[in-house]
Amino acid sequence: MSAAALPLPKSNPIANLLELTKLRISGASTFTAAAGYVAFLRGADSGLITTLLGILLLAMGSSALNEVQEHRFDALMPRTATRPIPRGDLTPLQATVFAVSLAVAGFLILLLAHNLTSALLGALALGWYNGFYTPLKRVSAFAVVPGSLIGALPPAIGWTAAGGSVADPSVLALAFVFFIWQVPHFWLLVGLHAEGYEEAGYPTLVGLFGRPRLSRLTFTWTCGTAAACGLLPLFRVLVSWPAEVMLGLGAVWLVAGSLPLLRPGQDAVLYRRVFMNINLFALVLTAAVILDPFFAR
């Protein structure tokens, strides 16, 4: 049998839905919400489960809705052309129904198991991502700066779900660190995939400034992320020395690993390595906040 006559592999519905909802990314944002919950309670209880479930469903619904919104552009980029809608495994209508169902379920879990504030913050995260940031990316290469509010909201949702006030300086400090972190995280992704973004019609900072200037700008924001971590002990998000040392060493490692961005001749290998570093740093940051109450006992 010739290669042309071989049957195409069958579509896997479960794999399609997991890819549609960007489970890995949705799970990462859910993990940061756990930091907010544990930081307020100075511990954990059974409410953490419903908090994480509600946020995960909202994040998955928002991600799926984003793929509906951008499926025509995804089809133009090698990195995203094999997503379920561009590939034809799901129709936009099917994906929309699934996305809305997930989002409504997540909102109701936060509302019924916790409180209106956490549910409204979850709705704000979805509205900001899908209603503001997603269309703004088509207009401005700087869309990620206001769009980074999305990264700040999950810890605040966790905090308020545990019973805290969204105006508390401690949660504002925690949210601010994740806000700052989101910017260099996305710009490193732009450095990796700028050509694909531009082919699909997205304005990028590589096209606006060139890679060397983008690299310097990204390094500056990375240093800002590390410096912002100093707010966490200041506002008593962290009170134990092991957690503070853990975060401090992580911040030094992040900046040191980003120094090659200042050298000439940046390539995809460098951007990928620094991108992995900044993702690992978010894990260290979140873990430090979650472990702090247990270190302090």
3 confidence band (pLDDT: 50, 70, 90): very low
- Which residue from 274, 181, 183, 278 is spatially nearest to 232, judged by alpha carbons? 181
Whether 174 contacts 232, CB under 8 Å: yes
Please give the Cα distance from 110 to 53 (Å, whole number).
9
Whether domain 15-295 has CATH 1.10.357.140: the reply is yes
- Tokens describing residue 194: 């700028």
Whether 178 contacts 283, CB under 8 Å: no
- Tokens describing residue 147: 């769009």
The yes-or-no verdict on residue 14 having pLDDT over 90 is no
User: What is residue 9's three-state secondary structure?
Assistant: coil
Question: What would the mean pLDDT of 271-291 be, rounded to a whole number?
Answer: 95
pTM of the predicted model, to two decimals?
0.90
11 confidence band (pLDDT: 50, 70, 90): low
Give residue-wise pLDDT tens across range 87-131.
888 899 999 999 999 999 999 999 999 999 999 999 999 999 999
- Angstrom CA distances, 128 to 131, 146, 201, stand at 5, 9, 21
- Tokens describing residue 113: 């198991």
What is the H or E stretch that residue 57 is in?
helix 47-69
Give residue-wise pLDDT tens across range 135-180.
999 999 999 999 999 999 999 999 999 999 999 999 999 999 999 9
The yes-or-no verdict on residue 283 having pLDDT over 50 is yes
Please give the Cα distance from 238 to 151 (Å, whole number).
20
Q: Where are the domains of the chain?
A: 15-295
Question: What would the mean pLDDT of 63-74 be, rounded to a whole number?
Answer: 92
Please give the Cα distance from 272 to 1 (Å, whole number).
40
Q: Which of 7-21, 44-58, 231-245, 283-297 has the lowest mean pLDDT?
A: 7-21
Whether 150 contacts 129, CB under 8 Å: yes
- Tokens describing residue 57: 């469903």
Q: Length of the chain in residues, anyone?
A: 297
Please give the Cα distance from 90 to 286 (Å, whole number).
35
- Which residue from 114, 112, 108 is spatially nearest to 45, judged by alpha carbons? 114
- Tokens describing residue 267: 């390539």
Give residue-wise pLDDT tens across range 185-221.
999 988 888 888 888 888 988 888 888 899 999 999 9
259 confidence band (pLDDT: 50, 70, 90): very high
Write down the pLDDT at residue 10.
54
The yes-or-no verdict on residue 4 having pLDDT over 60 is no
Please give the Cα distance from 46 to 159 (Å, whole number).
14
Write down the pLDDT at residue 264.
82
DSSP calls for 97-129: HHHHHHHHHHHHHHHHHT-HHHHHHHHHHHIII
